[in-house]
Structure 1
């Protein structure tokens, strides 16, 4: 193997080559002089005590020693050359290239690669820095060897018509927990969850697992529905690798469960023990030269910062409700799940079992550890200890708290089910036990969609490859980029759709740079932060269905207001799904629009806008259509124009309230409405006579008394007529059921709904009386 040697950066340039000490064909030994050179420098001479010094030029002769062994092939320099910087000086044919090293030793010749002396600037271990093996970080290879090996692997895959598929474990193809309740339910056919857990697998890590209370605990593993069929189908199109942030012992146990015959993954399993980074994953760990033929499936996109184009994001599999990823303490807290969206890939039309994003990452406790992880490369030993302690604490919580058991008990209480006390000696009643509902469901279909996506990508890849390849031989120069093809396939799904999110991204997070935002834009949709006439879809969280953005969108019939399940299913199925099943019911009050000083109410027509119309059609009480033109720039900046009045939409409600983070009427939920009614009735019914009033003003006073009595009488009649409606309204506000609408009107926070209360008869009369008294 030939190697070109350079002069190095430590020489006192410029130097002049004085004499070449060896000729081509000579055998070289390490630390043997190969040539002599001279250089000039300035020396200070004279008497420094009397400050009588000057500089004199000096010339020094030195030799350059060989940093390696081998045979001299050729010189790249000659005698008399003046060299001003580092450059190649000779070519050597080495007896050993040290391309494969293990734990600091050359695997071929056995020499110590960590040795450094005056003849070399860096150790020979730098010649082999690439780790390509799955199960050992101590074995490294040189870049040249890595390239040769990877190219050979790519040619083999092309001949087999395959690609490489990197598969995550936790919440991608399996879900794991150590909750002891699962073991009890699995052995109890009478339990309502038995059908869902009867095929759950289990194993113990023993000495390789966590310490403390969790030592020797049983791990319960639920395979994602359809996994066997998925792996069987993918094995014909992909060479599969496991890449997990669990320990190697954990990963190997999972691999035995899902691939007992080792026909799908073989020994291609990499864990966090070999990853070299506890914060993120990197395809270059396995494919250091090229990722053009590699695809990833993972439930997390944020852990692949350098390989996003190659990723197909999977809807997180959350079979054990509220458990989340038991290895998530080794990663930053995730923020890429739609709040309230089901994490099992099912349609959002049945949200009774939908899990919130908070519950989905219950094991990933928000703490200062998240900040440490974000700033660390994952190599810090102290950080690893903190992460391990965090995971152990999370696992212990499962054993102690038994959250799944408590969830089922709460569900039994709602069903009115009373289970017999087996520990009691008292005879139990013989009446039949009521039907019990279950908390665990085995209805996930995500792998069906993932299989379709991977099949489509595979066929697209080889269709393009075959179009360029005129021969049957593998040609790496025309291999398409799988990451680019994925972008093309996904980028057309939501093209033309303009989305605004409400209540789906945490406060303080830039929507456009959030994980959810990036995912939406990768599917071709435009993501805006404000409602405008260009908005086509407002995606609203079912946890906060009434926000200021919804009220604005409700007045524009062209905007589809859908829940987060529509977005989640579109991203999962790679389809722009019909909005009908996902439409959010809009309160009538949210569709109303103030008509200005006239005090009239205008409502947005339920009919769709004419495609040729450029303005917003409003149907007034007279039935006449009113069209308002919105300036293009004003729409961009979030303004709407009505009758010459320009209203800054963002000024209607503070930004922190616009997404519904906190309703302005939350404080009214505990308000004493009955006390207010009593005070109002007492005030309206009180005597306003003034015994000291001048006789000249008696007529005026009588007029005021008459007016107040009339007002009180009218108010009483209206109160009697509307008593039932008003009582129901107060009850809804107290219970928080009408927080975004009627209660919001009572608080006066809605700029458009406030006219209803501002025009109340009582307020008008009281204002008039006060004006007369102050007159």
Structure 2
């Protein structure tokens, strides 16, 4: 695929004067060939004869204009003696036989050239540094190609009247544990938690413990409905093996997500997620659904769902054992994307290399955390504590039986329990698990509203709106007119405006403060309300 390249000079050279030219239009050139000679006003260091110290001196400097590419001279845009002042104005245009715009691990996907081999001018791997793929095959593209792919995706979705939904897994639509107590309870019909565990999925991952996974109530119906108005992607901090296993459960026929699954193995960072990883140039049609806002830096694309906790005592098994410190920056509507310069791109490469170095340590830390979870068995401990408490609380057996029957999910058919031969203690055991989560019903309506608002604007203005502005506007109206004062909530050594509670309140339209004033409408504090500020607020 031919590629047109503009011959320009570094901005600090301008204005430049062309002295001579050595090429004409139609002539073939090699990389590093001299195209001409130019002159500019430069600064050189000259040693003073008396003081013997160097000082800067302005001087006319002549340099060679060299081609950075191999190809054909399509146009020579300057003449000898001409002075050029605009760094954006090309001095010449070179047409390459291949621009190496799509690469696979340093090999051009078009011409097959090994781009990792460079010279003093560098190599051509830097032409395609953007990874938009959901896998770890190493496919990278140039900025121009990334912009075209994003544009094509947006146009296709507009025709289908869809948006994009990036979906987290853990504690968003599933909850997982490695607590082996689940296996015992799942196989024991006499256990009061037995009815809630019959639809728990069990699978193993090489080098990891057995996983027990519970779908959030309403997940299948939610995904089926969202598939009608969204093109859905999975983005998880779980491993690729874990993500594939969950996808097999929630999308067995691969009609919902297809291959649109991104795991931590491809993300490389174990601390943060990035929309630009999948949509580097256009995030205006992307909605993110996740139970954590910090990993997204409070992106305006994010809708934060309440965490789903079914296995009591277990959190997110794929989160870092110790959460990273919150990012010390304010969230912004500017999504960034492809607006970074060459220096920023090199920083991104260094960050990836750095994360690779610590990846093994993080994997070891997670292995250790899962081993501790499996050994501690929090469900078993909680059950034992509950039984101890119940020993001091007399309970009518018939009431216990009725409560258990009411707690049994309607989707599970179970014969009446036979209590003959059981001790009173066994009969009155209460379940520690429950299925009363209905968060997806609420979130479904929110996402339906976002989709409707987006396409209402699209139909009215005949131009694609920005879902970030729609969501930000809707959020800001929730707590409009509310002023919240936080008391004893944040450590004294951190900036409260960077904390999740503060950021969340502001995102939903509230004003936040640490001082009690007459216009405060709400006080948020810890359980101990003896603090003077809280006492004053209640007067």
**Aligned equivalent of 1:249:** 241
The answer to whether the Cα contact below 8 Å between 1:277 and 1:378 also exists between their aligned partners in 2 is no
Q: CA deviation at 1:414?
A: 1.5
Which of 313, 319, 324 does residue 310 from structure 2 map onto?
A: 319
For 2:484, what is the secondary structure of its paired residue? strand
Indicate if the aligned counterparts of 1:278 and 1:379 stay in contact, CA closer than 8 A. no
Question: Per-residue deviation at 1:533?
Answer: 2.8
| Alignment of 1:410 onto 2:385 | yes
- On the 8 A contact 2:3/2:97 being kept in 1, the answer is no
Task: Name the counterpart of 1:267.
Answer: 259
Aligned counterparts of 1:197 and 1:536: Cα–Cα separation in 2: 43
Take 2:186 and 2:325, find their aligned partners in 1: how far apart are those partners? Answer: 31
Q: State the match for 2:70 in structure 1.
A: 69
Find out whether 1:287 has 2:258 as its counterpart. Answer: no
What is residue 162 of structure 2 aligned with on the other side?
162
Please give the alpha-carbon distance, in whole angstroms, between the structure 2 residues aligned to 1:482 and 1:42: 50
Match of 1:148 in 2: 148
Please tell me whether the aligned partners of residues 480 and 508 of structure 2 are also in contact (alpha carbons under 8 angstroms).
Answer: yes
Q: What secondary structure, in the 3-state scheme, does the structure 1 residue paired with 2:272 have?
A: coil
Name the counterpart of 2:347: none
Determine whether 1:29 maps to 2:4: no
Shift of 1:510: 3.8
In structure 2, relative to structure 1, the CA distance for the partners of 1:331 and 1:75 (3 Å cut) is farther
Q: Is the 8 A contact 1:22 1:35 kept in 2?
A: yes
Q: Is the 8 A contact 2:163 2:231 kept in 1?
A: yes
Q: How many residues align?
A: 478
Change (3 A) 1:32 1:243: same
Query: Aligned partners of 2:3 and 2:353: how far apart in 1?
Result: 37
For structure 2, list consecutive stretches of 5 or more residues without a partner in the other structure. Answer: 53-57, 328-350, 395-419
Q: Report if the CA contact (8 A) 1:292-1:482 is conserved.
A: yes
1:514 counterpart (475, 480, 499): 499
State the 1:321 CA deviation. 1.3
Question: Could you say what the CA RMSD is over the residues aligned between the two structures, in angstroms?
Answer: 3.3
**1:116, distance to aligned residue in structure 2 (A):** 2.8
Q: Alignment partner for residue 360 of structure 2, among 367, 380, 385?
A: 385
Cα separation, 2, equivalents of 1:513 and 1:64: 49
Instruction: Report how far residue 122 of structure 1 moved.
Output: 3.6
Change (3 A) 1:278 1:387: same
Matches within 5 A, 1:560-575: none
Whether 2:528 is the aligned partner of 1:544: answer: yes
| Structure 1 unaligned blocks of 5 or more | 52-56, 210-214, 337-375, 419-427, 470-477, 556-775
Verify the 8 A CA contact 1:30 1:67 in the aligned structure 2: yes
Structure 2: how far apart are the matches of 1:40 and 1:239?
Answer: 55
1:457 to 430, 445, 450: 450
> What is the CA–CA distance in structure 2 between the aligned matches of 1:503 and 1:61, rounded to whole Å?
67
Show the 5 A alignment for 1:576-615: none
Shift of 1:458: 0.5
Q: Distance in 2 between matches of 1:26 and 1:189?
A: 84
Match of 2:300 among 281, 295, 309: 309
Contact 2:236 2:263 in 1 (8 A): yes
Q: How many Å apart are 1:468 and its aligned residue? A: 0.7
1:60 is displaced (CA, Å) by 9.5
State the TM-score, normalizing by the size of structure 2: 0.81
- Pair 526,13 (structure 1): closer, same or farther in 2 beyond 3 Å: closer
Give me the whole-angstrom Cα distance separating, in 2, the residues matched to 1:58 and 1:297. Answer: 59
Per-residue CA deviations over 1:455-474 (Å, capped at 9, x if unaligned) read 011101100110012xxxxx
Q: CA 1:500–1:134 in 2, change beyond 3 Å: closer, same or farther?
A: same
> Secondary structure in 2 aligned to 1:72?
strand
Q: 2:95 aligns with which of 93, 96, 113?
A: 93
Shift of 1:68: 1.7
* Superposed displacement of residue 379, structure 1: 3.1
**CA–CA distance in 2 between the matches of 1:173 and 1:12?**
56
- Partner residue, 1:108: 110
Once the two structures are superposed, residues 677-713 of structure 1 have per-residue CA deviations (whole angstroms, 9 ceiling, x without a partner) of xxxxxxxxxxxxxxxxxxxxxxxxxxxxxxxxxxxxx
Cα offset, 1:281, TM superposition: 0.9
**TM-fit CA distance, 1:320:** 1.1
Bigger Cα Rg = 1
Higher relative contact order (CA 8 A, sep 6+): 2
Tell me the equivalent position of 1:171: 171
Query: Deviations 1:146-196 (Å, cap 9, x if unpaired)?
Result: 111111110110011100000111111111111111111111111111122
Does 2:288 align with 1:296?
yes
Per the alignment, in what secondary structure is the counterpart of residue 132 of structure 2?
coil
Q: 1:329·1:388 contact (CA, 8 Å) conserved in 2? A: no
Match of 2:212 in 1: 220
TM-score of the aligned structures, taking structure 1 as reference length: 0.57
Q: Say if 2:269 and 2:355, in contact at 8 Å, map to a contact too.
A: no
1:661 equivalent in structure 2: none
Query: Paired residue for 1:400, among 350, 359, 375?
Result: 375
* Superposed displacement of residue 319, structure 1: 1.0
> Structure 1 74/203 Cα, relative in aligned 2: closer, same or farther at 3 Å?
same
Counterparts of 1:451 and 1:61, CA distance in 2: 66
Query: Offset of 1:88 from its aligned partner?
Result: 3.0
In structure 2, C-alpha distance between the alignment counterparts of 1:42 and 1:514, rounded to whole Å: 48
Give the structure 2 partner of residue 533 of structure 1. Answer: 518
Instruction: Work out the CA distance in 2 between the residues paired with 1:59 and 1:411.
Output: 86
The 1:124–1:43 alpha-carbon spacing in structure 2 relative to 1, beyond 3 Å, is closer
In the other structure, the counterpart of 1:440 is: 433
* Secondary structure of 2:117's aligned partner: coil
The residue that corresponds to 2:480 in the other structure is 495
Specify the SS of the correspondent of 1:320.
coil
Q: What do the CA deviations read for 1:22-42 (whole angstroms, capped 9, x no partner)? A: 211223333433334578999
Q: For 2:24 and 2:455, locate their aligned partners in 1 and report how far apart those are by CA, in whole Å.
A: 53
Equivalent position to 1:524, from 499, 509, 524: 509
Contact 1:276 1:379 in 2 (8 A): no
- Say if 2:271 and 2:295, in contact at 8 Å, map to a contact too: yes
Alpha-carbon distance, 1:551 to partner: 1.7
Measured in 1, the distance between the counterparts of 2:322 and 2:231 equals 27
1:277/1:379 contact within 8 Å kept: no
